[in-house]
Amino acid sequence: MIKRGVVCAGGLGTRMYPLTYSQNKHLLPVYDKPMVYYPIQTLVKAGIKDIIVVAGGPHAGNFVPTLRDGHEFGADHIYYAYQEKEGGISQAIACAEKYAEGENIAVILGDNCTDADISKEVAEFKDGAQIFLKRVPDPERFGVPVFNEHQKVVAIQEKPSRPLSDFAVVGLYLYDQTVFDKIRRLKPSARGELEVTDLNNAYLAEGKLKWAELNGYWRDAGQFETLFEVSAYWREKRLNLSGGKERE
């Protein structure tokens, strides 16, 4: 069982300029809610009520009045950690170490919007790491798994120019308490970041990486096109749930 979740919501959001000149990317609207609401709701739905939001950049302080203490989402506590540099996802995860207090953690990226239910995986998780895969039209934007003939993941490639499958590793991960020691042993990539793909491959090298296909809608909202797509999806879903009435 995992009781603590980490939302990685740092970065400068340069691909989203000019929208992010004066706002953190993860606080941009996805239909009727700030983007970061969606990953938090994913964790809460899975039974994770203690959540660490890792923010960075000049607009990190905007998370506090937006999220407050988390009770609106059903969370028991929301803690805030600050990522000093733009050092990659694994570095952002490392910022949550003191809040994890030696417990297993679930990690979700702040631009990942999904209606999937991972409560079963969270409840059954014991050790190692678990990644979630989803078929996408643009796997070259993500970490891509390499399978053997038995559908076992034998490697993960970071943003390959020629993906070997149409599966992407989504920004949702389950890690045991050894994750922070593994991050300390990572080397910066060619772009100077501690890559989450390298972290996952470290678990893979130990034979402790599992995977599951994510059931339900999933998309990252980190580009103009996908931000529009995700907003349209949630608008349609809300209208269906409300009998076709717009929110007042």
Tens-digit pLDDT string for the chain (248 aa) = 899 999 999 988 899 999 999 999 999 999 999 999 999 999 999 999 999 999 998 999 999 999 999 998 899 999 999 998 888 999 999 999 999 999 999 999 999 999 999 999 999 999 999 999 999 988 999 999 999 988 899 999 989 999 999 999 999 999 999 999 999 999 999 888 999 999 999 999 999 999 999 999 999 999 999 999 999 999 999 888 776 666 55
Q: In this structure, are strands 50-56 and 77-83 parallel, antiparallel, or unpaired? A: parallel
What span, in angstroms and rounded, lies between the C-alpha atoms of 11 and 167?
A: 25
What span, in angstroms and rounded, lies between the C-alpha atoms of 196 and 212?
A: 17
pTM, two decimal places: 0.94
C-beta of residue 195 within 8 angstroms of C-beta of residue 92: no
* 130 burial level (CB within 10 Å; 0-12, 13-18, 19+): buried
* CATH number listed for the domain at residues 4-128+169-241: 3.90.550.10
* CA–CA distances in Å: residue 215 to residues 38, 55, 80, 173, 181: 16, 28, 30, 15, 31
